[in-house]
Homo-oligomer: A and B are copies of this chain.
Amino acid sequence: MSCDIPELTAHLGYRLRQLSNHVSQAFSRKLAAKDVTVAEWTVMRRLYPVESVAPSQLADAMGMTRGAISKLADRLVAKSLVVRDASATDGRAHFLRLTAHGAEMVPALAALAEQNEAECFAHLSSADRAVLERILANAVVQLRITATPVE
């Protein structure tokens, strides 16, 4: 026989992706009702508590290229959720800022995030939930993961 190859399901990476995709897709469907993608929500959530952020800062924080952030910002501007401000001191620099309309939407979107979280992890015992939280947080530190997930 030629089957000395482990099953796909034997890999933690496979299981992780399976569950993560399910959770993200469920969230994506909820956000779609508000015409917002997960990437757009993540930007909005990051802009919400601050005055404004430079695209380059956002790119670093989210582990995306500046080109990708530019396109994301284009979509958010087209939806009137975000505006671009020119810097007063540096002719090259810009800042992204939530519009009043964008800021108003954040609590509702955050509620969808909470709802998704509740639905997807309702089956976990509180002990399992705590363990999973600890393992995931620790893995992010151990693997030196800095990027914000988008997909």
Which A residues from 78 to 137 make CB contacts under 8 A with B? 103, 106-107, 110, 113-114, 116-117, 120-121, 123-124, 128-129, 131-133, 135-137
Q: Are A24 and B19 in contact (CB under 8 A)?
A: no
Contacts of A24 in B (CB 8 A): 13, 17
Asked if A23 is an interface residue, CB under 8 A from chain B, the answer is: yes
Count residues of chain A with CB under 8 A from any CB of chain B.
57
Q: Does A140 contact B (CB under 8 A)?
A: yes
Give chain A's interface residues, CB within 8 Å of chain B: 2-6, 8, 11-24, 27, 42, 45-46, 48-49, 103, 106-107, 110, 113-114, 116-117, 120-121, 123-124, 128-129, 131-133, 135-140, 142-143, 145, 147-151
